[in-house]
Each structure stands twice: as C-alpha cells, then as structure tokens.
C-alpha cells in the first residue's frame, strides 16, 4: 500500500527521508524494495532519458507517460510528478488541468518551481485536492533567466528572495518543499522556520530528506557533476546495493557531507 503524506511526516519525525528520481516500472520496483520513501518523476527525464540540454522541452504528456510506468512498479513509495515548463505558469486553471492529468496518471503529488509568484497557484491546487510540492533556490526551468545552473541565495538580497519564496509557498499550503543549490546556512534557516517537509538537493543535511537524480547517484550522467552529487555505485556491487547505500547514508544524516553542500559566503 502506498504511503500517505501523513506517513511521511511520521517517518520524518524519526529519521531522514530518502528520495530519488524514477522514470520506469522496473526501477520503481527496485527503488521501492531498497527503501526509497519518495519517487520523483522529474522533468530531468528530458536530460537523462531524452538527451536534451535542459528540462525545457519536456511536456505534460512525457511526464504523464513516465508517471504511469512508475506507478505500475511502485508499491509503497510516495510518487511526486514534476509539472513541466509552461504547464502551470499561465494561470491556476491551467495548472489544475495539467495537475489533474498527472494525478490521474498515478502521481500522489505534483511539484512546481517558483516562489512568491506561484503562491496563488499552490493555494488554488490545494483547495481542489491536489497536494503540492514547491521548489525554490536553483529552479532548473528558469535556467535561461538565471544564466545557467548557478547557486542561488549567495548574497543577502538573494537569500531573502529564497526565504520569502519558501515562506510564501508554505503559507499557500504546500505540503513539501524542495530546496536546490543554496548555501547550507540559508537552507538551515529555511528548515528552522519550516511547516512542511523539506527535501534538499545541494542544500543541507538538516533537511527532512534528500533527493538526487537516479542517474547521478549511479554515476552514469554525462558531463560535469554538480558538487552535491555522489556516485554510490563507485564502491562496486549491484545497482540495488548502491541504492541501499544511498538510503542508509541519507537516513542517518551521513549524506550529504560537507563536500556536497555549498559553503556560506565569507
């Protein structure tokens, strides 16, 4: 039986939550067996599955297809589906139409990027029965306006924008929040004021859980790896053993280590 958001809150009170991206039924089954708590059908599929240079070409149909596959393989893990670029920014009504498609495909929750500007959409979805995960800090769908995949919140003004965005998304009713690529001190400030489950990626071990792209965690992604990535397959053994090492490291707070988070500015 699939976990509920209440189950995740109870687990987070006793240990850290382990999350990975997932795009198919076979890996969903393996990751579920290995103890992954949350499966993210990420728009990262545009890069690691489809071979694009960014997540921007991914469509709702793409995410729905992969969500259906993951839902067939998963038995207990909570499934979060990314809302792709252009699928929710126009209006709350547009977001609801596309979120319904992803929920009907098997998602338990949808994730969207942005801060204060997305608060009304988060509230609109939540009021209509769609659980929402927010995403602040480095938001990959904004790669063109950010000028690349850059750390966010490095100066006082940037940090306040990220903090304000996190507050606004939580105030709007988001049950989960992903923080990506911010200085660890800023991530800890967000965690200290949180009212939702906070999942980090390049943030802080203080978060309620961690997420990585599956292919990054297995060391099979092309190109330069971000600081926050660790190859858990490098020590050998099977893919399942690597996933179990990741789960164990996250649960006890050993991952991320200091080498995987971004220091505060001196």
Q: Is residue 81 part of a domain?
A: yes
Q: Compute the average pLDDT of residues 157-179.
A: 97
Q: Is residue 266 part of a domain?
A: no
For residues 123 and 131, what is the distance between their CA atoms, to the nearest angstrom?
10
pLDDT of residue 54: 92
Per-residue pLDDT reduced to its tens digit, 70-121: 999 999 999 999 999 999 999 999 999 999 999 999 999 999 999 999 999 9
Q: Is residue 198 part of a domain?
A: yes
pLDDT of residue 225: 86
The answer, yes or no, to whether residue 265 has pLDDT greater than 90, is no
pTM, rounded to two decimals: 0.96
Q: Compute the average pLDDT of residues 130-157.
A: 89
Q: Is residue 152 part of a domain?
A: yes
For residues 196 and 113, what is the distance between their CA atoms, to the nearest angstrom?
16
Range of the domain at 9: 5-254
For residues 146 and 81, what is the distance between their CA atoms, to the nearest angstrom?
23
The answer, yes or no, to whether residue 266 has pLDDT greater than 60, is no
Q: Is residue 259 part of a domain?
A: no
- The catalytic residues are 180
Cβ neighbors of 231 (< 8 A, separation 6 or more) are 216, 217, 218, 219, 225
For residues 52 and 96, what is the distance between their CA atoms, to the nearest angstrom?
27
pLDDT above 70 covers what percent of the chain? 100
* Exposed / middle / buried, residue 180 (Cβ in 10 Å: 0-12, 13-18, 19+): buried
In the chain, how many domains are there?
A: 1
Q: Is residue 94 part of a domain?
A: yes
For residues 30 and 244, what is the distance between their CA atoms, to the nearest angstrom?
10
Q: Is residue 265 part of a domain?
A: no
Q: Is residue 263 part of a domain?
A: no
The answer, yes or no, to whether residue 26 has pLDDT greater than 80, is yes
CATH number at residue 115: 3.20.20.60
């Amino acid at each position: 039986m699939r976990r509920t958001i209440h189950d995740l809150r109870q687990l987070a009170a006793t240990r850290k939550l382990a999350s990975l991206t997932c795009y198919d039924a076979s890996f969903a089954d393996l990751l579920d067996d290995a103890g992954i708590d949350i499966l993210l059908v990420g728009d990262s599929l545009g890069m690691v599955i489809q071979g694009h240079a960014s997540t921007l070409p991914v469509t709702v149909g793409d995410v729905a297809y992969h969500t259906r596959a993951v839902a067939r393989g998963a038995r207990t893990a909570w499934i979060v589906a990314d809302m792709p670029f252009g699928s929710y920014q126009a209006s709350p009504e547009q977001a609801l139409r596309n979120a319904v498609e992803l929920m009907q495909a098997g998602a338990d929750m949808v994730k969207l990027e942005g801060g204060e500007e997305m608060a009304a959409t988060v509230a609109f979805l939540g009021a209509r029965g769609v659980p929402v995960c927010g995403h602040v800090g480095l938001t990959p769908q904004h790669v063109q306006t950010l000028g690349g995949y850059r750390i966010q919140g490095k100066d006082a003004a940037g940090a306040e924008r990220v903090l304000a965005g996190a507050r606004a998304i939580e105030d709007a009713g988001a049950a989960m929040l992903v923080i990506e690529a911010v200085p660890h001190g800023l991530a800890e400030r967000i965690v200290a004021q949180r009212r939702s489950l906070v999942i980090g990626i390049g943030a802080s071990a203080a978060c309620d859980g961690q997420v990585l792209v599956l292919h990054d965690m297995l060391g099979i992604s092309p190109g330069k790896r971000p600081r926050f990535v660790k190859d858990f397959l490098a020590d050998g053994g099977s893919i399942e053993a690597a996933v179990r090492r990741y789960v164990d490291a996250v649960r006890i707070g050993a991952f991320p280590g200091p080498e995987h988070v971004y220091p505060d500015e001196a």
